Amino acid sequence: MKQKILAATNNQNKAKEFKEILGEWFDIITLKDLDIKVEPQETGETFLDNAIIKAKAVFEAAGGKYPVIADDSGLVVPALGGEPGVMSARYAGVDADDQKNNQKLLKKLANASDRSAYFICVIVYMDKDNIISAEGKTFGEILTQPEGGNGFGYDPLFYSYDLKMSFGRSSAELKNQVSHRARALAQLREKLKAVK
């Protein structure tokens, strides 16, 4: 029987990616499956800090019954000193949506000659004895205008060097082969196989 692991996310797209990549080895269950409502405050200064905050909050909310995986991810633009970084989801303010975040990014990069960027994902596995972390990155650059309507967040602005197109134009299947989350999950999977 596969070990159950609780995905510490309310985002069903993210939970689906976890299942697709780890499902062969683990039975991924969600907060929705257990009817647990928890919204941890992401107050960390790094992606790792925030992933651990989420993992701990969900581990405790589930009474420590299940190991938990949690991630924090975002877009890093070196020309902007690493912005949006850990503030990626809230870049244009607490009530910001994808469109406002994208508009702010384009405005800040208006005169930039260096538009290179990368998505980073840090994933943490937590059980009563272990905290294991893994990291994945995917590289590209920020376009001058959105391309494609697929994905979410900054995907329409992110031109992937791997795919030679924006994540907004990519299918979910193609994106999942090269995404920061897929790479972090693949690294985590190898680490967990070594522990189990």
User: CB of 143 within 8 A of CB of 161?
Assistant: no
Query: Which residue's structure tokens are 């299942």?
Result: 19
User: CB of 71 within 8 A of CB of 24?
Assistant: no
- Cβ partners under 8 Å of residue 195, min gap 6: 130, 132
The one catalytic residue among 72, 97, 98, 129: 72
How far is it, in rounded angstroms, from Cα 47 to Cα 42? 9
Burial status of residue 81 (CB atoms within 10 A of its CB: 0-12, 13-18, 19 or more): exposed
14 phi/psi in degrees, rounded to 5: -70, -45
What are the distances in angstroms from CA 41 to CA 52, 122, 166? 11, 17, 31
71 is annotated as an active-site residue: no
> Which residues are part of the catalytic machinery?
72
